[in-house]
C-alpha cells in the first residue's frame, strides 16, 4: 500500500487533517503510522492505493470512460450574432457583422430534431449567446419556439439560458421567450462598472432596474457574473453583499470570473492566479454567511465539455467553434457534426504531478494557450478552505 498522490496534508488548530482531492474526503488523523488493518480502511476510502496503481493513468481512464458514457443532456451554445452594442474593456471576441440567418436556424433545428428523435437525451440545454444575442431577436424567438415544440414532441425537457448585456431585454422579450436562466454582468460599483462595460445608453442603474424587473415579472433564475480585475477587486464583495441583501439569494446565483487580458491594449490590469484565488474564496465565504451553504471542493468527472465533444458552440453561420470562450473559427457545420464522436483527454505533463488535478482536469485550455494560467483556485488557498470548513463544522 502507498499513500495517494492526491492527498493534501494540513495542520489546523494543532490537529492533523488529510483531504483527498480525488474523492473529496476529509479525515482527522490521530497518528502518522498505520498498521495493515488501518491501511486497508484508508484504501477503501481512497486515501491509500495499491503499490502498483498508476493513479494518473487511472484518473485519465476514468475521465475518458465518463466522456464516452455521454450525458443525458444535449448542450448547445448558439451565437445568434457577432454584433454587439457595448464596447467592454475586456471583450475577447472578434466583433463583426455576422448575424444568424433563417436558413442556418432551420439547419440547426433540423439537426436538433434528428438528435432528439433518437431518444438518447432527456434534456436539451440551449445557451443563447453572442455578441449580443438580442440584436437578433427574430431568430431568438424562432429558435425558442421551435426547440420548445421539438422538445415537447420528443418528451425532452427544454432548459434555456441567455447571456446578455440587458439593454434590449424588454417586456416583449421577457414575455415571449422561454428564458429559464438569465446572466447579467456587473463589473463593480457604479463608477467602475460604467468604465469597464462601455455603453452610450445603458448603465449600472439601468441594469439594477432590469434585475428587479426580471425578479418581479418572471420565474427566471439570475446569474450575476462579475469579471474580477485589479480595478474592481475591492468592490466585488460589497456589491454581491448589497445585491443579495436587497434581492435575496433564492433566485440569484453568483458567477465570479477572472478578467483575462486577450490583447495588450486592453485597458485593465489582470489579477494573478493567487490574487484571484483569495478573492474567490472570500466570495464563497460571503455566500455561506448569507445562505448557510459551503462545501469542500468536489472532484470533476470530465474536463471542459466543449473539448471532449459533450457540448457544442455554434457560430452565427452554423459552424461548430472550439468553444464559446474562443475566437477560433470552426470548420465543420453543426448540421454535419457526428454527435456520437468524443475526444479523449490526455493530461499535460506539468499537470501530472499536481495534487489538485482531479479538481480541474487541466483547466481551461484557452487560458492555458494564451499564458494566463488555468489552475483551479483551490490550489492557492486549500489551507484556508479547510480551516474555514473545519471551524464552521466544529461550531455546529
d(CA 251, CA 216): 11
Q: Residue 379: pLDDT band by 50, 70, 90 thresholds?
A: very high
116 near 124, Cβ under 8 Å?
yes
d(CA 307, CA 67): 10
Q: Residue 94: pLDDT band by 50, 70, 90 thresholds?
A: confident
Helices (H), the chain: 36-44, 55-69, 102-116, 137-153, 171-176, 190-196, 204-217, 236-247, 273-291, 305-308, 357-360, 365-369, 378-395
Buried b (16+ CB within 10 A) or exposed e, 303-339: bbbbbbbbbbbbbbebbbbbbbbbeeebeebbbebeb
Three-state SS at 238:
helix
Kindly report, as residue ranges, where domains of CATH 3.20.20.70 are found in the chain.
65-336
3 is written with which cell numbers?
499513500
**Continuous segment of H or E residues that includes residue 128:** strand 123-129
d(CA 334, CA 104): 10
What average pLDDT does range 6-10 have in this prediction? 97
For 150, other C-beta atoms within 10 Å of its C-beta total: 20
User: If you search the block for the grid coordinates 436562466, which residue do you land on?
Assistant: 181
Q: Residue 238: pLDDT band by 50, 70, 90 thresholds?
A: very high
pLDDT (0 to 100) of residue 323: 78
pLDDT (0 to 100) of residue 10: 96
Distances in whole angstroms, Cα of residue 198 to Cα of each of 7, 128, 202, 234, 266: 46, 22, 9, 20, 13
Q: At the fourth CATH level, which superfamily is domain 65-336?
A: Aldolase class I (3.20.20.70)
Q: Residue 242: pLDDT band by 50, 70, 90 thresholds?
A: very high
Angle (CA) 181 184 186, round 5°: 150
pLDDT (0 to 100) of residue 326: 66
229 near 90, Cβ under 8 Å?
yes
pLDDT digits (tens, 9 = 90+) for 243-278: 999 999 999 999 999 999 988 888 899 999 999 999
d(CA 116, CA 152): 10
Amino acid at each position: 500500500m502507498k499513500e495517494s498522490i492526491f492527498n493534501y496534508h494540513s495542520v489546523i488548530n494543532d490537529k492533523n487533517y488529510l483531504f483527498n482531492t480525488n474523492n473529496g474526503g476529509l479525515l482527522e488523523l490521530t497518528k502518522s503510522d498505520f498498521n495493515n488493518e488501518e491501511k486497508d480502511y484508508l484504501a477503501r476510502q481512497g486515501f491509500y492505493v495499491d503499490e502498483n496503481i498508476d493513479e494518473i493513468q487511472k484518473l485519465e481512464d476514468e475521465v475518458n470512460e465518463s466522456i464516452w458514457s455521454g450525458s443525458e443532456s444535449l448542450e448547445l451554445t448558439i451565437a445568434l450574432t457577432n454584433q454587439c452594442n457595448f464596447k467592454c474593456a475586456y471583450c475577447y471576441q472578434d466583433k463583426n457583422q455576422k448575424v444568424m440567418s433563417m436558413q442556418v436556424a432551420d439547419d440547426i433545428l433540423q439537426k436538433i430534431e434528428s438528435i432528439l428523435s433518437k431518444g438518447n437525451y432527456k434534456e436539451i440545454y440551449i445557451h443563447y449567446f453572442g455578441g449580443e444575442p438580442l440584436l437578433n431577436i427574430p431568430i431568438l424567438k424562432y429558435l425558442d419556439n421551435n426547440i420548445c415544440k421539438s422538445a415537447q414532441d420528443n418528451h425532452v425537457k427544454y432548459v434555456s439560458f441567455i447571456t446578455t448585456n440587458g439593454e434590449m431585454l424588454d417586456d416583449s422579450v421577457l414575455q415571449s421567450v422561454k428564458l429559464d436562466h438569465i446572466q447579467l454582468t456587473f463589473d463593480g460599483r457604479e463608477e467602475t462598472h460604467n468604465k469597464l462595460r462601455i455603453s452610450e445608453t445603458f448603465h449600472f442603474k439601468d441594469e439594477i432596474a432590469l434585475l428587479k424587473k426580471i425578479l418581479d415579472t418572471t420565474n427566471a433564475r439570475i446569474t450575476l457574473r462579475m469579471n474580477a480585475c485589479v480595478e474592481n477587486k475591492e468592490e466585488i464583495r460589497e456589491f454581491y453583499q448589497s445585491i443579495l441583501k436587497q434581492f435575496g439569494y433564492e433566485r440569484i446565483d453568483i458567477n465570479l470570473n477572472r478578467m483575462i487580458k486577450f490583447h495588450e491594449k486592453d485597458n485593465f490590469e489582470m489579477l494573478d492566479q493567487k490574487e484571484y484565488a483569495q478573492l474567490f474564496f472570500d466570495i464563497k465565504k460571503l455566500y455561506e454567511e448569507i445562505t448557510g451553504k459551503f462545501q469542500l471542493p468536489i472532484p470533476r468527472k470530465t474536463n471542459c465539455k466543449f473539448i471532449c465533444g459533450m457540448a457544442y458552440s455554434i457560430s452565427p453561420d452554423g459552424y461548430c467553434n472550439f468553444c464559446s470562450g474562443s475566437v477560433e473559427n470552426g470548420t465543420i457545420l453543426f448540421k454535419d457534426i457526428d454527435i456520437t464522436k468524443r475526444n479523449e483527454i490526455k493530461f499535460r505533463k506539468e499537470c501530472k504531478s499536481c495534487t489538485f488535478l482531479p479538481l480541474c482536469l487541466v483547466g481551461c485550455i484557452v487560458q492555458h494557450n494564451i499564458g494566463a494560467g488555468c489552475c483551479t483556485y483551490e490550489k492557492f488557498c486549500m489551507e484556508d478552505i479547510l480551516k474555514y470548513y473545519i471551524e464552521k463544522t466544529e461550531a455546529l
